Structure 1
Amino acid sequence: MPIRRVWAPDIDFAGLRRELRLPGEFPAGALAEAEAAAGRAVTEAADLTGVPFVTIDPASSRDLDQAMHLSRRDGGYRVRYAIADVASYVRPGGPLEAETWVRGQTIYLPDGRIPLHPPVLSEGAVSLFPDVDRLAVVWTIDLDAEGATTAVSLERARVRSRAKLDYVTVQREVDAGTAGEPYQLLPELGALLAKRATERGAVNLPLPEQEVERDGGGWRLVLRAPLPVEEHNAQISLLTGMAAAGLMLRGGVGLLRTMPPPKPEAVAKLQAAAKSLGVLWPAGAPVGEVVATVDPASPRGAAFLDQAAELLRGAAYTAFDGPLPEITGHGGVGSPYAHVTAPLRRLADRYATEVCLALAAGTPVPAWAREALPRLPKTMAETDRLAGAADRGAIDLTEAVLLHDRVGEVFPAAVLDDDGTIAVDDPAVRARCKGALPLGARIRARLTVADPATRKVQFELA
């Protein structure tokens, strides 16, 4: 039997934008400031244009925050990570800074993004495009042969990326053994850092993500698992975030991304789920080590990882200036950690980076950055909730539109959670299903509700 193409010719996401009151156009004052800043010449900074940095992002990305260069050094490694220097283009106290506080972060919807900064900066003068000089904050992190950090420095510098690469292309080159010199070490170093993360108790959940993507003139839902190079690339960002947290904790001022460690009763519940799902959990093995052995493509593996995600709750931004906060670590990272690698897309990173620059140089933290720290946790929590609602709302709407004319049909699915959440094979829908549902089981589910107006999809056990 031929597979039915599950596709929606038209979905209107404008209602979701109105419902969530997402920002629209930038105010005139913010735009004028951004355009003036974009036209300024690159200011004096250390010259690192001779380092062949490259960017690695999704193919469609134009707001390029990070560029990397990896090399061997003294039996170990040197990581150079260039981060777009947004603070050099946003004037403290100006209308552009005020508008970025309203927005908090870039919010992504299938029909377009709601950017944190005007595109003339975020997709223009500040983005780390190839073959043009750009201002960046460059982290240089030296590691020994085991992947342990031995030295950290950072500075403002002029950089010149050599290539705009995407994950699919890089993965293909890595598999073929033709990866270029600036990122040739990425699989080796990424795997080494991932091993260290597991040993320190980090929990990395390789869950496939639901995404709404264009399909010709319409839309479809896909379930996309991260490529290995994406996981390796994430380890470089995590390495930098841990270095930033270390600087701030030693300096007694900063903004951490924190998460309490999993509670013993939650781990015990996950161990019980592992037993019922047939997931091997050796005595004394930490959660992250067990998670790393699970196949997310299998129904039982997917159900176990869905349960494991319950351990990673309570993430927050924690500001401090003087006494250290009660919680300084991040339960998912297994270490103190800070957000500093995405300032084009996330407000907090601009201020945290400025703190790190001052601490590394032994100079006072600029007043505009220091005074912002106590306000950032609330602002980031609010915008995180808004971004999550936009993402979930877009997926729920797409699911309902794709299925609205198929009520009564039966779909093969897997049970992900004991609350009745199932994952339908095709289209890539997650929804609630009524009935007695054994965790990790394969079932046949009958669609009973698919209402685009309420964005509700409901199944029952067939």
Structure 2
Amino acid sequence: MPRRPLHVTGAAEAPLRAALRALRTELAVPDSFPPGVLAEAEAAAKAPRLPAYDATDLPLLTIDPPGSTDLDQAMHLARRADGGYRVHYAIADVAAFVTPGGALDAEAHRRVLTLYFPDDKVPLHPPVLSEGAASLLPGEPRPALLWRIDLDAEGRRVATDVRRALVRSRARLDYAGVQRQIDAGTAEEPLALLREIGRLREALEVERGGISLNVPEQEIVAHDHSYSLVYRAPLPADGWNAQISLLTGMAAADLMTAAGTGILRTLPTAPDGAVARLRRSAHALGVDWPHHVPYAEVVRSADPTDPRHAAFLQECTTLLRGAGYTVFTDGHVPTPAVHAAVADEYTHCTAPLRRLVDRYAGELCVAAVAGNEPPEWVRSALPALPDTMAMGTRRASAVERESVDVVEAALLSGRIGELFDAYVIDVKEREPSVGTVHLENPAVVARVAGGTAP
């Protein structure tokens, strides 16, 4: 979920890990849940509100990074008799465990998001729920919001349904294993269809002018007295899986706009200045970007296995600035209400274990399909939710920004006095001695202030 995923290897007592622990203290990140919250979570884990509809016969599977236990989504893909496809997508039903107005609910509103540090995460909900009773772990019956989305032969959505259901995942898979099975032709049809549907949805994304950023994960590897930077390029399976989530978020937005009450994730078109800065970064990194080629096409052509292109994709996340949440009621959908990167109306609804707003979006969609008014706890909280999410997003951005600074400092530690090849990618117009440089190796972006301008 972070825009710039970072991961640190090495012993817990290593200097970089110590610096990251100090950063958590400096940013006043909560390190534990209050006793009352933990007690409520324990009780909820033992007695969730279970739905009447039983869908445990549906052979769902999850796809997540290795070792993940906070599993928000599980899917089952199938062909329809008319030549189209049926997507079942189960989303963890956090509302089955959280009592509105209770201690657990109040703590979730205080935390807003799971925070990701390079060496750890600070969860939105206590692990007894997020990694236990509410997580879609294999072999365990779980309450979920079960989406059924029918697609035609081109991957276009033709019907949507969502309801509360009891589900049971059959398998926990990771991206590399999924990619191997699909490439080898050994994947059974529900998994093999991920490539087929994913590619169709990617083609439709291109058609509508959308763009998905396949940002590589940066792994900071500890050596005896230094660190090195390694990129892990996303696999095609990462992108196909992301298309199922995007499909659901777009379907949810349509349900809410039709019902007249909802919350959308919006993003304005990037200003010319931001695109111009990104062009300078591309030039500095040796990424070919002809003037007649639009931004989206350049991003799609970038090779995340190439360190220069990987660094460019990291810089592309700057164009996501300005994203926010927009609430609408009584049928007054705001204009524009589009997410520029998705190139359509869109909402967050597929990660409720890690993002507060998704719990509310899910409730709004269930109510819309049933033809009911949203619950009072949703309607009363909805007006303040954009500000709540903005506060949480600012904190998450600070965590990401400061973590990157700490990691870059570690990469350059012990190298004082060395000369580095670097490119100037931005200069402050009125102060030409102030600007931003991009080091070629390691791929560090640094602010430069002072000195003598030429």
TM range (shorter): 0.7 to 0.9
Give the alignment partner of residue 37 of structure 2, picking from 9, 27, 30: 30
Q: Is 2:109 the partner of 1:91?
A: no
Question: What secondary structure is seen at the aligned counterpart in 2 of 1:124?
Answer: helix
Spell out, residue by residue over 1:369-393, the C-alpha distance to the aligned partner (whole angstroms, 9 max, x if none). 1111111111111111111221232
Question: What secondary structure is seen at the aligned counterpart in 1 of 2:374?
Answer: coil
CA distance in 2, matches of 1:217, 1:102: 39
Given that residues 232 and 305 in structure 2 are in contact (C-alpha distance below 8 angstroms), is that contact kept between their aligned partners in structure 1? no
CA distance in 1, matches of 2:226, 2:282: 40
CA distance in 1, matches of 2:421, 2:52: 59
Report the CA distance shift for 1:135/1:215 in structure 2 as closer, same or farther (over 3 A). farther
Give the alignment partner of residue 163 of structure 1, picking from 166, 171, 183: 171
CA distance in 1, matches of 2:320, 2:370: 35
TM-score, with length taken from structure 1: 0.84
Root-mean-square deviation (CA, aligned residues, Å) is 3.2
Report the CA distance shift for 1:101/1:424 in structure 2 as closer, same or farther (over 3 A). same
Given that residues 74 and 90 in structure 2 are in contact (C-alpha distance below 8 angstroms), is that contact kept between their aligned partners in structure 1? yes
Give the alignment partner of residue 438 of structure 2, picking from 422, 431, 438: 422
| 1:293 shift after superposition | 2.4
Report the CA distance shift for 1:23/1:306 in structure 2 as closer, same or farther (over 3 A). closer
Q: Is 2:181 the partner of 1:173?
A: yes
Q: Give the 5 Å matches for 1:251-400.
A: 251-263=259-271, 278-280=288-290, 287-297=295-305, 301=309, 305=313, 308-322=316-330, 323-400=332-409
Q: Give the equivalent residue in structure 1 for 2:123.
A: 115
Give aligned pairs, total: 430
Letter in 2 for 1:342: A
Question: What secondary structure is seen at the aligned counterpart in 2 of 1:339?
Answer: coil
Q: Give the equivalent residue in structure 1 for 2:69.
A: 62
Q: Give the equivalent residue in structure 2 for 1:451.
A: none
Given that residues 10 and 222 in structure 2 are in contact (C-alpha distance below 8 angstroms), is that contact kept between their aligned partners in structure 1? no
CA distance in 1, matches of 2:142, 2:306: 45
Q: Give the equivalent residue in structure 2 for 1:45.
A: 52
Report the CA distance shift for 1:150/1:386 in structure 2 as closer, same or farther (over 3 A). same
CA distance in 2, matches of 1:272, 1:400: 24
CA distance in 2, matches of 1:220, 1:347: 35
Task: In structure 2, list runs of 5 or more residues that go unmatched.
Answer: 1-8, 428-434
Question: What secondary structure is seen at the aligned counterpart in 1 of 2:301?
Answer: coil
Letter in 1 for 2:301: T
Spell out, residue by residue over 1:304-357, the C-alpha distance to the aligned partner (whole angstroms, 9 max, x if none). 656654543310011111211233110000000000000000000001110110
Q: Give the equivalent residue in structure 2 for 1:431.
A: 446
TM-score, with length taken from structure 2: 0.85
Q: Give the equivalent residue in structure 2 for 1:197.
A: 205
Letter in 2 for 1:57: D
Letter in 2 for 1:360: V
Given that residues 51 and 164 in structure 2 are in contact (C-alpha distance below 8 angstroms), is that contact kept between their aligned partners in structure 1? no
Question: What secondary structure is seen at the aligned counterpart in 2 of 1:83?
Answer: strand
Report the CA distance shift for 1:218/1:158 in structure 2 as closer, same or farther (over 3 A). farther
* Larger deviation, residues 239-248 vs 381-390: 381-390
* Larger deviation, residues 394-403 vs 312-321: 394-403
Letter in 2 for 1:15: A
Spell out, residue by residue over 1:130-170, the C-alpha distance to the aligned partner (whole angstroms, 9 max, x if none). 01111110111000011110000001111111111111111
Letter in 2 for 1:135: P
Given that residues 274 and 280 in structure 1 are in contact (C-alpha distance below 8 angstroms), is that contact kept between their aligned partners in structure 2? no
Task: In structure 1, list runs of 5 or more residues that go unmatched.
Answer: 1-5, 436-457
Q: Give the equivalent residue in structure 2 for 1:100.
A: 108
Letter in 1 for 2:353: L
| 1:29 shift after superposition | 1.4
Q: Give the equivalent residue in structure 2 for 1:444.
A: none
Report the CA distance shift for 1:58/1:278 in structure 2 as closer, same or farther (over 3 A). closer
Given that residues 56 and 168 in structure 2 are in contact (C-alpha distance below 8 angstroms), is that contact kept between their aligned partners in structure 1? yes
Spell out, residue by residue over 1:66-90, the C-alpha distance to the aligned partner (whole angstroms, 9 max, x if none). 0011111121111110000000100
* Larger deviation, residues 6-15 vs 173-182: 6-15
CA distance in 2, matches of 1:211, 1:274: 22
Report the CA distance shift for 1:234/1:415 in structure 2 as closer, same or farther (over 3 A). farther
Question: What secondary structure is seen at the aligned counterpart in 1 of 2:76?
Answer: strand
CA distance in 1, matches of 2:262, 2:223: 44
Spell out, residue by residue over 1:397-436, the C-alpha distance to the aligned partner (whole angstroms, 9 max, x if none). 133234321212345667766753324435x54434799x
Q: Give the equivalent residue in structure 1 for 2:431.
A: none
Report the CA distance shift for 1:177/1:433 in structure 2 as closer, same or farther (over 3 A). farther
Q: Give the equivalent residue in structure 1 for 2:231.
A: 223
Given that residues 209 and 296 in structure 2 are in contact (C-alpha distance below 8 angstroms), is that contact kept between their aligned partners in structure 1? yes
Question: What secondary structure is seen at the aligned counterpart in 1 of 2:100?
Answer: coil
Letter in 2 for 1:369: V
Given that residues 61 and 173 in structure 2 are in contact (C-alpha distance below 8 angstroms), is that contact kept between their aligned partners in structure 1? yes
CA distance in 2, matches of 1:368, 1:153: 23
CA distance in 1, matches of 2:280, 2:24: 41
Question: What secondary structure is seen at the aligned counterpart in 1 of 2:60?
Answer: coil
Report the CA distance shift for 1:335/1:390 in structure 2 as closer, same or farther (over 3 A). same
CA distance in 1, matches of 2:231, 2:333: 41
Letter in 1 for 2:238: E
CA distance in 1, matches of 2:223, 2:177: 21
Question: What secondary structure is seen at the aligned counterpart in 2 of 1:407?
Answer: coil
